[in-house]
Structure 1
């Protein structure tokens, strides 16, 4: 289970230490979403026990943790990068852009940002990269939960307008149902045209129309 080890190593609670994570690099549709979290030093144990890497939590447990986290127990910010920005910058740089936007939505700038992963991120504060940070840092794990639930809810809203793709179930990932819908319905403006299944579909359509 994640704990406050990395937060304490980087000066918490005397210094403000934020956890940062993003979701949505792999899908073929929808934005990348990032979140950052700063905890108080006296976080109740009951809440700590709810927090883990978002991928390890069931949808119901993840939602309960999200509701607790966004209910006033921590400072948090959320940022996103659009499909257009993913296509223009590439998904890695777009993810970093989403992180910077999330950081800007905090009420104050932290002294240190703990970031999940190993690819260095350019942020306006000290940065410490932590591989598998969502499994070891409570702040990063909390950020992963907020980012994941926020993005899932966004994809559910988009699914009401684009109901053929099953985004309320697959969150924009290239599942068999989603790929079949691409063949039967075609590509919409929320698809990432540079990603292989979508680009292949567009290339095939161009060949047939030539």
Structure 2
């Protein structure tokens, strides 16, 4: 059976990232992205990635659009060919500040962890982290528009996922090895039955309501 096609589908292009923003800016451009703003448990993780223009891994895209196997394969290529820095903001910092500020702290730390300051930053989102002393451009939906940000999204997600799998071994029952701390049905049931762990974000409403 053939798929139906109508006017609304003609000439529709699927958005894919490219390297045009980096080339237009010139110099050493770092893509910056974070993961983990929505979960009820665990840190927020950020990555800064400076790609080698001559060795860009094939298939870079928003980490959310990729299979786990593809993300892992790209992670290996990115680590092998690019300059990468990964950083975190802890659950305590999320509680002391707020999730947006904690995300920005993780981003700042990731940028500061690069071997040398980049010439420019491409940051996913609408708001730049306060305190940047490097020229930067916010890019809405950047992980689907810029290869460098897409690479950062993949690195940050792989790293945070591994942290949550490790924490799941220490705190079994919450399903963190599969839900990565998000409020899945299994996670919410475990909160009711097992209680709140030190890795839960107590200021988040679903957790706060359990206390």
The question of a shared fold, defined as TM-score above 0.5 by the shorter chain, is answered with yes
Q: CA deviation at 1:121?
A: 1.6
Counterpart of 2:103 in structure 1 is: 95
Q: In the aligned structure 1, how far is the partner of 2:90 from the partner of 2:119?
A: 28
Counterpart of 2:88 in structure 1 is: 80
Counterpart of 1:3 in structure 2 is: 18
Matches for 1:43-192 after TM superposition, within 5 Å: 43-44=55-56, 47=57, 49-71=58-80, 73-122=81-130, 123-192=132-201
The alignment of Structure 1 onto Structure 2 pairs a total of residues equal to 195
Counterpart of 1:205 in structure 2 is: none
Q: In the aligned structure 1, how far is the partner of 2:52 from the partner of 2:69?
A: 25
Higher-helix-fraction structure: 1
8 Å CA contact retained: 1:53, 1:141: yes
Structure 2: gaps (5+ residues): 1-15
Cα root mean square deviation, aligned:
0.8
- After the TM superposition, list the runs of 4 or more consecutive aligned residues in structure 1 that deviate by more than 2 angstroms: none
8 Å CA contact retained: 1:121, 1:127: no
Structure 1: gaps (5+ residues): 203-210
Q: In the aligned structure 2, how far is the partner of 1:39 from the partner of 1:183?
A: 45
What do the CA deviations read for 1:5-32 (whole angstroms, capped 9, x no partner)?
1101211xxx110000000000000000
Q: CA deviation at 1:41?
A: 2.1
